[in-house]
Amino acid sequence: MPWQILVLFRVLAAHIGFPYAVKKLSGLPGRSRRIALQFAYCILFTLGFAVLSGDALVFDWRFAAIFAFGIVNALAVYSQWRAIEISMVKNSLFTQADDLIAIGLGMLFLGEAHQLAMPAVATAILLCVFGTVAYTFSTRKKDEKVGSKIFLFIAVYSAVWGVAVFSQRALAIEGMSLSSYALAWYSGTLLGSFGLVATFGRKEESLAFSWSVLWKVGALALLVWTAFTFGFHTYREAPVSISQPIFQVTELVLPLLIGVLIFKEIPMPRWRDRALLAVAVCGATVMLGLYRVVLL
């Protein structure tokens, strides 16, 4: 399957379906328990995939390392849920750090840098950054209720997922199977989520398990697992310096539009706010076009 098709399916699951579902679920009772249930589902999906596909499960030092890292991922997931609950728009605007970390690690350790050498690509990235920062300063008075806590949440999950994406690329090209990585990742995250329940669960409203809860969290978990699966295959086929800027664009533009158009998070009566937001989106779109037309 061409890697561009893999990218398309990951974008649909990760940057359209997932943020919409999390926005709907993140403010409901039992947040940490929903996260734990989500990853229990992901483990079941992974085991089912391994059985049906015959994908090998190898328990070695790599499995142990990803399992340990998965424990940390539980806090990253919780942070993302909180950030999306606070503001999907702000989250999408400032969630570019994990992509830049992954690209930087790919350049440093895997030698995947030549795709970023074009001045046009650098210019497009600068447009994204400028539009994002300027838009934030322009709307800061209207967004005082958002506060600074969202930036801490974004920083936590960006650091974890930037390293995680790099590890998926490095281990995928080394030959680690999808099922081995996913089982280690989700098992560690499930264990870490028990820590979330112990830490935050007492302060949350209790979660009454029902068919509604089970199918909604199950649907979210399917989106998560689908995004991870197609993402892992993408990283196996394409350097992070190609795949990650594309994901950076869609992760900025699509959830932002969902937050503005569907959830009505930020009214934009002033033309300056709309223009600055358009600069960020145009920079992202130009970068995507450059990668599609020139580099590929």
pLDDT per position in the chain (296 positions), as tens? 777 789 889 999 999 999 999 999 998 999 999 999 999 999 999 999 999 999 999 999 999 999 999 999 999 999 999 999 998 988 887 887 898 899 889 888 888 765 554 565 666 666 666 666 666 666 665 555 556 789 899 999 999 999 999 999 999 999 999 999 999 999 999 999 999 999 998 888 888 789 999 999 999 999 999 999 999 999 999 888 778 877 877 787 788 878 877 888 876 556 666 676 676 666 666 655 555 544 44
CA distance 285 to 279: 10
- At residue 58, the pLDDT reads 95
- At residue 284, the pLDDT reads 62
- At residue 200, the pLDDT reads 92
Reading the block at residue 87, the tokens are 């503001």
- At residue 253, the pLDDT reads 77
Q: What are phi and psi of 176, to 5 degrees?
A: -70, 135
Nearest residue to 58 via CA among 174, 205, 211, 157 = 174
- At residue 294, the pLDDT reads 45
Query: Alpha carbon of 238 to those of 40, 79, 144, 231, 267: distances in Å?
Result: 30, 28, 41, 10, 39
Query: Alpha carbon of 167 to those of 98, 194, 203, 214, 232: distances in Å?
Result: 13, 24, 34, 31, 10
- At residue 99, the pLDDT reads 84
CA distance 148 to 241: 30
pTM above 0.95, yes or no: no
Residues 6+ apart with CB under 8 A from 209: none
- At residue 288, the pLDDT reads 57
Q: What are phi and psi of 222, to 5 degrees?
A: -65, -40
What's the N-to-C CA distance of the chain in angstroms?
16
